[in-house]
Copies of this chain bind each other. A is one copy, B any other.
Amino acid sequence: MATATRKKTTRKKTTRKKTTTRRAKTDKKVYYFGPSKTDGDGSMKQLLGGKGANLAEMTDIGLPVPPGFTVTTETCADYYKVGGKLPAGLMDEVRENMKRMERDTGKKFGSDSDPLLVSVRSGAAASMPGMMDTVLNLGLTDKSLDGLQSATGKTRFALDAYRRLINMFGDVVMGVDHHAFEDEFDRIKKKHNAATDNDLGVEGMEELVDAYKKVYKKHTGEQFPQDPYVQLEKSLEAVFKSWNTPRAIRYRQINEITGLQGTAVNIQTMVFGNMGDDSGTGVAFTRDPSTGKNEFYGEFLINAQGEDVVAGIRTPKPVKEMPRWDRRSYDQLIKIKTKLEKHYKDVQDLEFTIERKKLYILQTRNGKRTGPAAVKIACDMVKERLIDQKTAVLRVPPNDLNQLLLPSLDPKAKRDVIAEGLPASPGAAVGKLAFTAAEAADRTQDGEKVLLVRRETSPEDIDGMHAAQGILTSTGGMTSHAAVVARGWGKPCVAGAGAIHIDEKKRKITVNGRTFTAKDTLTLDGGTGQVLAGEIATIEPKLSGDFATLMKWADRMRTLKVRTNADTPEDSQRARDFGAEGIGLCRTEHMFFEGSRIKAMREMIVAETEAARRKALDKLLPYQREDFIGIFTAMKGLPVTVRLLDPPLHEFLPHDAKAQQDLAKTLGIKPAKLKQRVAELHEMNPMLGHRGCRLAVTYPEILEMQVRAIVEAAMACQKKKVQAKPEIMIPLVGTAEELDLLRGLAEQTIASVKKEHKHKGRLDISIGTMIEIPRAALTADDIAEHADFFSFGTNDLTQLTFGYSRDDVGTFLGDYLAKELLPKDPFQSLDATGVGQLVAMGCEKGRKTKKDLKLGICGEHGGDPSSVEFCHKVGLDYVSCSPFRVPIARLAAAQAAVRNSK
């Protein structure tokens, strides 16, 4: 049999450790919280559990929390130490604290007039959702049931509370199968012709309570306990036991929760918002979570329980209408709003209940908010001196800036989702369907708004992609061609929507039995990956002064520079507007796809001799030079990293027979010959084929033309008083020898172009390489000998380190994420564990050889906040990302700097 020990140490989740105040162990087992006194505080998570510490904290700052107490985690540990018995003296302490609760609430546990009911909940120092269920309404007995009825005047309410207790106590504490209760409920509902639970009247409820008691007796052999303290003691013990069930142990193993001594138990007064028209319940935010405006915001329902607000059966009223109903509670809430923000230094999302005119706060936590709200709140709170600038910068999730930068779907609009793909490029787009790039370009010219729908796009589709409002593909991942190009333009894209079958010939798509043609309109939500039928209203972005303020702060805090990936003067200008400090990746291949350029490019590829290739390259030279002049001029002296030709040559040739025939005619060669050349260039795995610097090794003249174009452009700029700073980047280097050879060739070319033009001045041109092949990272010390800079190409590095093709990963990535074999899509968020090791190694080895080696990243990860933090920690000089992600990267870089300086 297999002998390996199976340890679950590898499925790491985000850490759950928090620093808490450790205290010397005392004999005190129970910590009270309530108006008369509070024993604990928010720092005592280890001893009181997360929930217990929070309740103490809330009470401590004077919030009207229903009183209660917490049995410590140490007591749980003691329970196990003495072999699974409640420690001596525990129940005495519990009774003492129950007495105090009775005094604080004016109710009595088990009373037949106004009985105190309590909830019992587990609560460890780390969140362990679902470890143990809750028992509510504890303290109800036949006797106190009468009390509850008479105190509230609500017979059905009281009966319902009682049958719920019997059910929960039976199930959670005594292990009675809950189906046994449900069967009885069904039987009685049927008997009384009640369609839903709520249709069952008082008579039926009475029968139900009796029936539940019988179920309880039958399965436990005992009567349902009529002593409330027996209920309490058994519940307490059940919570302790739940700590070491196999399910709980497994949960802690998987999540690597270690060092805890046990769970605490929270016993708290029950309050009811459904005790009549003087009761109610609501949820509220201390500021508007949608706009960030500093006004109390929320909803409430009269005579209802908390779950009614959530369930949406009744329509709640806005809190500003509350004064008309209960001004005292409203005023109290407004005071609490201020108190909460002052204490927690952030917007709070709170739950409250009013039981017979008395306000209780049940929970408060930091409120979720939209991007624009997050920016406004952060800036306002600095103005209000609630927080400092660093805290403000940390408060805005970088990705939420997308909501400020791109159009988004109106959240109120109804959505008819027909498919979901990957959220490849954020923003919202509406249009009719176009099935080829040419069609998209044509129909756009005719004034139509279209979405380009393709299995996958290729460089040939560039024009149509640019013309379309948005792009939808049925295959391909987050870093497929469509996704990368779309993000570069800030154009919405949903990629890899696999459920959609595209019939290009019949010009229609089918998805789950529905068909859409060229006449139909769809909407893409690039932020979520949803594809929606029809036109959904969109909201245009607005940039506020607060945004500028926040970014100014962020820029002061960060140490990482932020560059952009851009291939045109327009993109370069846009990126500068977004704050880019240079171009980290200027791909030169995109430049070859337009009209007469692609013809010359194809001539070059089909050429059979070096001379013929050089002739074709001579035609490309002026285009390239103009491209670079445009980009250098737009960047006004900022560095521009130009990557030499990277993709395999076959990407530039047409693949269908008709287009090949046309091309053969244009080039004046035999179709068979062209076909043969296409076949020669075909590769089984083009990603691992003849591309990158391998092209320059076999066709040095391509490199020479590109370097010449760069040098001549830089000289032309110098004449215009623009100090161009090109950085020549040689892609796909795997051995120091490659870079040595090609650097030499580039240097020779620079020297000879300067000589030819009799150029006297200094040109600021450096030469470096991409680190995107694992072997390059492994041998970075050797490679650094020949490089002025490294730029980590983490797209390809991720492909090769994992052995995942970006174009094909869609076939299994979904399964991998669903089965938690990967924490995230590694093409979106840098895999620090594996790929990160190579990046770190590349940095370390590179700088060992050359202390001042400039280091950057130009993969898609450069715009991902968690990857940006990794880049900061590993010591890169800059990240580079698509223009629309530049502000996100700037903010993420600032957060990384703040977080890691602490």
A833 within 8 A of B: yes
Q: Which of A689, A741, A746, A772 has the most CB of B within 10 A?
A: A689
Docked CA distance A690–B743 (Å) = 38
Neighbouring B residues of A2 by C-beta, 8 Å: 743, 746-747, 750, 765-767, 788
With the chains together, A685 CA to B694 CA distance in Å? 18
Is residue A838 within 8 Å, beta carbon to beta carbon, of the partner chain? yes
In Å, the complex CA distance between A486 and B261 comes to 63
Of A222-230, A232-240, A427-435, A729-737, the one with at least 4 CB within 8 A of chain B: A729-737
Contact B812 A740 (CB under 8 A): no
Main SS of the interface on chain A? loop
Complex CA gap A812/B2 in Å reads 45
Q: Which residues of B contact A732 (CB under 8 A)?
A: 803
Q: Does A801 contact B (CB under 8 A)?
A: yes
Complex alpha-carbon distance, A410 and B833, angstroms: 56
Whether the pair A834, B802 counts as a contact (CB closer than 8 A) is: no
A24 at the interface (CB under 8 A from B): no
Rounded to whole angstroms, the CA-CA distance of A84 and B550 in the bound complex is 71
- A901 on interface, CB distance cutoff 8 Å: no
A774 an interface residue at 8 Å Cβ cutoff?
yes
Q: Cβ of A735 and Cβ of B822 under 8 Å apart?
A: yes
Closest to A768 in B: B4
Cα-based distance from A734 to B816 in the complex (angstroms): 12
Residues of A761-778 whose CB lies within 8 A of B: 762-763, 765-767, 772-775, 778
From A498, which residue of chain B is reached at the shortest CB distance?
A: B680
* B683/A10 in contact, CB under 8 A: no
In the assembled complex, A97 has its CB within 8 A of some CB on chain B: no
User: Is A7 interfacial (CB-CB < 8 Å)?
Assistant: yes
- A787–B4 touching, CB < 8 Å: yes
Complex Cα distance A800/B816, Å?
Answer: 21
Closest to A816 in B: B697
CB atoms of A3 and B801 under 8 A apart: no
Q: Give complex CA distance A819, B4 in Å.
A: 48
The proximity string for A residues 780-799 relative to B, scoring 1 for CB distances below 8 Å and 0 otherwise, is 00100111100000001001
Please state if B688 and A687 are interface contacts (CB–CB under 8 Å).
Answer: yes
Q: Is A835 an interface residue (CB 8 A)?
A: yes
Q: Is A516 an interface residue (CB 8 A)?
A: no
Contact status of A6 and B763, CB under 8 A, knowing A685-B685, A686-B685, A773-B803: no
Identify which of residues 1-28 in chain A touch chain B, using a CB-to-CB cut-off of 8 Å.
1-11
Interface centre among A741, A799, A812 (most CB of B within 10 A): A812
Give the residue of B735, B747, B815 whose beta carbon is less than 8 angstroms from that of A821: B735
Within the assembled complex, what's the spacing in Å between the Cα atoms of A693 and B773?
A: 23
With contacts A684-B807, A808-B685, A808-B690 taken as known, whether A10 is within 8 angstroms of B740 at the C-beta atoms is: yes
Contact A805 B697 (CB under 8 A): no
Contact, CB under 8 Å: A734 / B802: yes
Q: Which residues of B contact A79 (CB under 8 A)?
A: none
In the assembled complex, A804 has its CB within 8 A of some CB on chain B: yes
For the complex, give the distance between the alpha carbons of A751 and B689 in Å: 44
Q: Is the CB of A812 within 8 A of B697?
A: yes
Size band of the interface chain A makes with B: 35 or more
Q: Which of B690, B820, B831 contacts A812 (CB 8 A)?
A: B690
A743 to B1, CA, bound (A): 12
- Does A837 belong to the interface (CB within 8 Å)? yes
Residues of B with C-beta under 8 A to A62: none
Contact of A685 among B10, B735, B805, B816 (CB under 8 A): B805
Kindly state whether residue A545 has any CB partner on chain B within 8 Å. no
Contact (Cβ within 8 A) B773 A802:
yes
Q: Give, as a whole number of angstroms, the nearest-CB distance from A249 to chain B.
A: 17
Minimum Cβ distance to chain B for residue A789 (Å):
9
Q: Given the complex, which residues of B lie within 8 Å of A812, measured CB to CB? A: 690, 694, 697-698
Distance A7 CA – B736 CA, assembled complex (angstroms) = 11
Q: Please, how many angstroms separate the alpha-carbon atoms of A807 and B682 in the complex? A: 11
Partner of A835, one of B775, B820, B834: B775
- For A5, the closest partner residue in chain B by CB is B785
Residue from A4, A740, A766 with most neighbouring chain B CB atoms (10 Å):
A4
Q: A175: CB under 8 A from chain B?
A: no
Within 8 A of B (CB), among A164-181: none
**In the assembled complex, which residues on chain B have CB atoms less than 8 Å from the CB atom of A762?**
1
* Min distance, Cβ A6 to any Cβ of chain B, angstroms: 6
**A740 and B8: CB pair below 8 A?**
yes
Which residues from B are CB-within-8-Å of A802? 734, 773, 775
Given the contacts A1-B750, A9-B782, A812-B694, A804 and B834 also touching, CB distance less than 8 Å: no
**Contact of A10 (CB < 8 Å), options: B5, B774, B785, B822:** B785
A10-B803 CB under 8 A given contacts A4-B788, A685-B808: no
Task: Report the separation of the CA atoms of residues A811 and B683 in the bound assembly, to the nearest whole angstrom.
Answer: 9
Assess whether B697 is in contact with A807, with CB atoms less than 8 Å apart.
no
A728 shortest CB reach to chain B, Å? 8
CB <8 Å contact, B785 and A737:
no
Give A746 to B2 CA distance when docked, in angstroms. 10
Asked whether A391 is an interface residue with its Cβ less than 8 Å from the other chain, the reply is no
Cβ–Cβ contact A686 & B686, under 8 A: no
- Whether A779 sits at the interface, judged by CB under 8 Å, is yes
A-B contact pairs, 28 of them (CB 8 A): A2-B743, A2-B747, A2-B788, A3-B766, A8-B740, A683-B807, A683-B808, A684-B686, A685-B686, A687-B805, A689-B811, A694-B812, A697-B812, A698-B815, A734-B802, A734-B803, A734-B804, A735-B821, A735-B822, A737-B820, A772-B803, A773-B803, A774-B838, A775-B801, A775-B835, A778-B837, A800-B800, A800-B803
Partner-B contacts on A (CB < 8 A): 1-11, 683-690, 694, 697-698, 732, 734-738, 740-741, 743-744, 746-747, 750, 762-763, 765-767, 772-775, 778-779, 782, 785-788, 796, 799-805, 807-808, 811-812, 815-816, 819-822, 831, 833-835, 837-838, 850
**5 extra A-B contacts, CB within 8 A, seeds A6-B743, A684-B687:** A4-B788, A10-B735, A690-B811, A773-B801, A778-B834
